[in-house]
Structure formats: structure tokens, C-alpha cells
Structure 1
Amino acid sequence: MASITFKGNPVTLLGNEVNVGETAPEFKVLANDMSAVSLSDSKDSVRLISVVPSIDTGVCDAQTRKFNEAASGLDNVKILTVSVDLPFAQKRWCGSNGIENVQTLSDHRDLSFGEAFGVHIQELRLLARAVFVVDSQDQVTYVEYVSEATDHPNYEAAIEAAKAAR
């Protein structure tokens, strides 16, 4: 498993680590309207999955904004931002910040995404910061588990991986 710290302290990640070349695992999360969303709902599109501990914090806010801005230059790419924030809070945050190109999804109910992608921080019941790119055939083409959960991911590498995926 990836070695992750949160504010300098080691944390335990639960679930299965995902690697490039593997088939992306299925998951079930909630959209802002409380409807169920799974990986297969966006089949036939490239998915850039941005994982944040809490959307209403500085780095998570910046990460979501960065991918929202990048979305206009990405053809056939859906950007999904996953956190354990409640769907109501995600909807409010997106509305007050003009976020329209990213779909925010909540894993608060049962941490299905967190367990499937190995980003569930056991000690905090949050998700570790990570970015995954999944191609239209559900193959993982890019993975970044950010080693310090309060650091930014490599935005450029993730965006380039999404552009290269088919």
C-alpha cells in the first residue's frame, strides 16, 4: 500500500491499492441529488477522478478549481471529484464557487470508493488525496497517491494522462 501522512503523521489506508494497467474497481457513491452513481455510469468516457479529504478546505478547494478549469480543454473526459463530504455540502460549495465542469460525488455513506481505490484513511474516516485516470475501457492509466494528504497533486501530469487516454 501507498505510504501516506496527514499533517506529518502516518495514517492507515484501508482498501485495495489501484495500479496502472488494472481494471478500475466498481464503486457506488452519491451525487448531489442523493442519487447513486457508479463507475459504470460514465462508461465510454475517460474519467479523471480527483479525490480530496474535504472539499471545503484550502488545498481541496484549489484542486477542485484547477480540474474544473482544465475541463474545458479536455474532450470526452469526465472529471469526478470524490470526498466524504455530504452531498448537500458539495452542492452548496459548487454553487457558491461557480463549479460547473466537475461532478462532485459523496462517499460518506459506506466508503465504497475509498475501499475500492485504497484511499480510506482509517484514523480520520476521510479519503486520502489522490488522482486516478480511467480510460473508456475502464483501464487505469494514471495513479497518484499524494504522499502528504495536505499537499497538492501533480496537476499537469494528471491532465496530460487524461488527454492521452482513450
Structure 2
Amino acid sequence: MVGCDKTYIRSPSAILKIGETVCIAVTFGLFRGIPLTFGDVNKTVVSVGTDADFFAGGVMVAALIISPLFFFLYLFKLANIQQTVLELAINFLFAAFLFICASVCMAFYHSANGYWAEKRSDGITMGIFCYVSAAFYTLDSLLACRNYCIIPNESSA
């Protein structure tokens, strides 16, 4: 029988997972809804589908799949991945990749001209949400590092 761990919902890990998912969903909504680009600072032509777009889109889709999956696995006690290196590695990679995406986005919209200059405020908002998502993943990485490094005997003392 699958049970719900009600104490997990109030834990820092759950709050971070919810924050990660919300921020990534907002970022992805801005990216695909307006539509925006993560840009290519060397091109002044209006083009969506640059290498940065594919990289950022892939990172966001992966995060939108993995973070809620981990949340539900922990909530329903289906897997105990929190004390393995897997969650630490995934959170660290998402933090690094989202920081890169946000930096590329902010650099592009800082120097945007022509058509993209009209979308500057939307693009900067998307970049800020990417930075916030990266911060959530960084905090979750630190929490996962703490969980991974704790020796089981220490937690019972």
C-alpha cells in the first residue's frame, strides 16, 4: 500500500522542489508563450531556434519532468533517493545549467536591438526566473549534500 508522507510536505526539500517546479514552469511559459529566445549575441536577425534556445529548452523540460517526479517519489515513499549521490548530481547540474541559461539570456537582452529590444523586459524577466530557479537548485544541492554526507548513526543520536 502506498502511503503519503505528510511530514515531507513541510520539509525544506519539499518546499524547494515546489519552488523549483513553479519557477521553471514560469520560465518555460515565458519562453514558449510569448515566444522569447535565449538569443545569439552575434546575430541581429530575428531568429528563434538558436543553439541557446535548444539548450535552455532541453534543460527546462528535463527539470519540469525530474523535479515533480522526485517530489512525488518522496511524498509517496516510493524511493529513497535523498541519501544517494543521484539527487546531489542532478540538482548541481540543473543549478549550473540554469545559471548558464540565465546568464546567456541576460547578456542577449542587455544588448538586444531591433525586434528583440521590444521584448527586453519580458526577456529580462525570463532571465531573472532562470536565476531564481538556479538558486533553488543550488539550495537543494546543498541540502542533498548534507543528506548524503550524514552518516546514518549520526542522525539517530
**Range into which the TM-score falls when normalised by the shorter chain:** under 0.3
Larger radius of gyration: 2
More strand by share: 1
More helix by share: 2
TM-score, length-scaled by structure 2: 0.24
TM-score, length-scaled by structure 1: 0.24
